[in-house]
Amino acid sequence: MQFPKQNTYWDSLLANTLGKHTIINLLFCAYDLLFYPFDSLSYLLREWMNPITPNLFAISDAVLPKSKFDDLPPVYTQQTTWTGNWYVSTQIQEELTKKGDKNFSSATKDEDNLQLIQDFIDDLNANGETPAYIGWGSMVAVSPQHMTRMAVESLKQANLSGIICGGFAKLSKDLLSKAEDKELLDYADKHILFLQSAPHDWLFKKCCAVVHHGGAGTMAASLRSGVPTIITPCVADQYDNASLIEEAGCGVGFKTALKKTTARNLTKALKTCTDNENNASIQSNCKRVAQAMEREDGIKTAVQIINEFMTKVDSGEWRSEFDARLEQRTLDSWTFGRAFSRLLFYKHPFVED
């Protein structure tokens, strides 16, 4: 989870415990208190904030700078690395699409999903148009019919062509009513391509804007594309990711849930991101972030850190540090009261004395 709305790490921790998901978090806290003695909880918290193994965060520093969390305990900072995002390369995505992998292709064995999309985009480009992408992945809000109608209507009102990805809701033109949605059906026939899945890294950079739910992976793909992003969140960290988009100046992040978003709201966001006369700053920010992310290799960095740690384990060095830590904790254990008082009165409660 990412917490861009807070000023410090401790604000973020508090917000996660007492924020918009209060009931869920309190249930988890109740579970911990039921099955763990208070002193054990203080021990777990102490070790969590002074890790003896590497912490890897698959986050881009260009999007959520590690420097933002300047109140992290020193040991936590030393052991923690923002590796950059982990993702399947564009080349592999294309290969899997050609093989008909359901994660990247909705075509049958006799169809070429990439060629189908490319032909649609080429026809638009020939007329001076670039499609917008709309897809909500595994999210379903109100109903698939409602989502399809809103997607088509917002594209129509924004005077844009589009590619709509069905996802778990299985959005499709067939969900529009022939009686009630005749204008939308006519517009969809002429301007919209419906797919059930598509390779994001390959597709997004061919679009003028990308609308999605704000999942971490989809957001990373849209930011890497250098195209303006619009996030309509549904749950959990999607709201925080929407805030990240706003803070980075890379598009529009909604504060309200997708189920409360209207076609009018989405149309306004699309116009904000695609009006070339007024979105110069958005385009510039998108390019800046995409270039920074291009320089990152999250998987390579993660593998390197893990290999270095395993070398340390194999040599016995880490075991010696671990045994020393156990001995030190035996001599200087924290009761729940001590841990709680440090949280209340210490500026850096988990910096060891």
Q: Which two tokens stand for residue 259?
A: 């189920």
Q: Which two tokens stand for residue 273?
A: 């991101």
- Give residue 316's pLDDT: 92
pLDDT > 90 in the chain, percent: 46
Q: Select 90-294's CATH number: 3.40.50.300, 3.40.50.620, 3.30.420.40, 3.40.50.2000.
A: 3.40.50.2000
DSSP assignments along 255-293, one per residue: SS-GGG--HHHHHHHHHHHH-TTT-HHHHHHHHHHHHHH
More confident residue, 230 or 36: 230
315-347 pLDDT, tens per residue? Answer: 999 899 888 888 888 788 777 777 778 777 877
- Give residue 262's pLDDT: 94
Residue 84: exposure state from Cβ atoms within 10 A (0-12, 13-18, ≥19): buried
Is a pLDDT exceeding 70 seen at residue 353?
no
Domain ranges for the chain: 1-35, 36-85+297-345, 90-294
DSSP assignments along 302-353, one per residue: HHHHHHHHHHHHHHTHHHHHHHHHHHHHHHS---HHHHHHHHHH-SSTTS--
155-174 pLDDT, tens per residue? Answer: 999 999 999 998 888 998 98
Is a pLDDT exceeding 80 seen at residue 176?
yes
Check: CB of residue 262 under 8 Å from CB of residue 242: no
Is a pLDDT exceeding 80 seen at residue 36?
no
Q: How far apart are CA 28 and CA 161, in angstroms?
A: 45
- Give residue 22's pLDDT: 46
Q: How far apart are CA 321 and CA 337, in angstroms?
A: 27
296-322 pLDDT, tens per residue? Answer: 999 999 999 999 999 999 999 989 988
- Among 343, 254, 333, smallest CA distance to 47 is for 333
Largest CA distance in the chain: 77
Query: Quick one: DSSP state of residue 198?
Result: -
